[in-house]
């Protein structure tokens, strides 16, 4: 359960969904959600803090950062 973040970035594949929550003011720690959409399509079990899924979370976080760089970066003309 996410408490007080006010910004979210998400990446979704056919099998996984990863949410990265950010509090822009820095009052709250960053929070995460990771769902196995194959076995948990209703997103009931957040796997983001389970050690067995740390590698998957890091992989999706890396992909999300790459997408942010590619899609959100303002390029000077």
**Closest by CA position to 57, among listed 7, 3, 16:** 16
What is the pLDDT at residue 30? Answer: 82
User: In this structure, are residues 11 and 63 in contact, taking their beta carbons and an 8 Å threshold?
Assistant: yes
At residue 27, the pLDDT reads 73
One pLDDT digit (tens) per residue for the chain, 77 residues: 555 557 888 999 999 999 998 877 777 778 899 999 999 999 999 999 999 999 999 999 999 999 888 877 766 55
Distances (CA, A) of 76 to 12, 51, 65, 67, 72: 29, 41, 20, 18, 13
What pLDDT does 22 receive? 84
Confidence (pLDDT) at 68: 84
């Amino acid at each position: 359960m996410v408490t007080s973040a006010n910004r979210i970035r998400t990446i979704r594949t056919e099998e996984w969904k990863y949410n990265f929550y950010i509090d822009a003011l820095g009052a709250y720690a960053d929070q995460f959600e990771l769902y196995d959409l194959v076995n948990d399509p209703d997103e009931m079990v957040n796997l983001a803090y389970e050690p067995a899924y740390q590698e998957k979370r890091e992989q999706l976080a890396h992909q999300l950062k790459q997408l942010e760089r590619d899609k959100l970066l303002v390029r000077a003309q």
